[in-house]
Amino acid sequence: MTMTAVDVDTEPALFSSATSLFRSLGDPTRLAILQLLAGRAQRVVDLTGQLELAQSTVSAHCACLRDCGLIVGRPEGRATVYALAPEVELRRLLAAAEDLLAATGHAVALCPAYGDAVTG
């Protein structure tokens, strides 16, 4: 496999978008919401019960994911039902992340900058 050099200074948009994507996925609550929505579309009240978080917290995270284009909401009565937006791609990404964690033996959890010891 041939690797090509990428200059961060000449391709800032590529790295900016990728960085934003990974930041949106970097929050444990948002990642949990995506995992739950991978199972089925759900209302905030459904997510709130499963995550044991306040409705306002879950709503704020759903708004972030929606603004990032990762989930979509459709009105259903007075509630909004959320679902994965690019469903197939997100399912693949979540599965690839699980595969990568398995392949590395979850070594990232030991990383001094980003591991479990840093976040608690």
User: What is the count of structural domains for the chain?
Assistant: 1
Residue 6 in domain: no
Give per-residue pLDDT as tens, 57-116: 999 999 999 999 999 999 999 999 999 999 999 999 999 999 998 898 878 887 887 777
Report pTM. 0.80
50 against 7, higher pLDDT: 50
Residue 39 in domain: yes
CA–CA gap between residue 72 and residue 66 (Å, rounded): 6
Instruction: Tell me the CATH number at 75.
Output: 1.10.10.10
CA–CA gap between residue 24 and residue 16 (Å, rounded): 12
Residue 7 in domain: no
Nearest to 45 by CA among 83, 87, 85, 81: 81
CA–CA gap between residue 37 and residue 48 (Å, rounded): 12
Residue keyed to tokens 């591991």: 115
Q: How large a percentage of the chain has pLDDT more than 70?
A: 85
Does the pLDDT at position 30 exceed 90? Answer: yes
Does the pLDDT at position 119 exceed 60? Answer: no
pLDDT at position 14 is 67
Q: What is the mean pLDDT of residues 42-62?
A: 97
Nearest to 64 by CA among 9, 96, 23, 103: 23
pLDDT at position 77 is 94
Q: What angle do CA 94, 21, 74 make, to 5 degrees?
A: 75
**Domain extent at residue 115:** 15-119
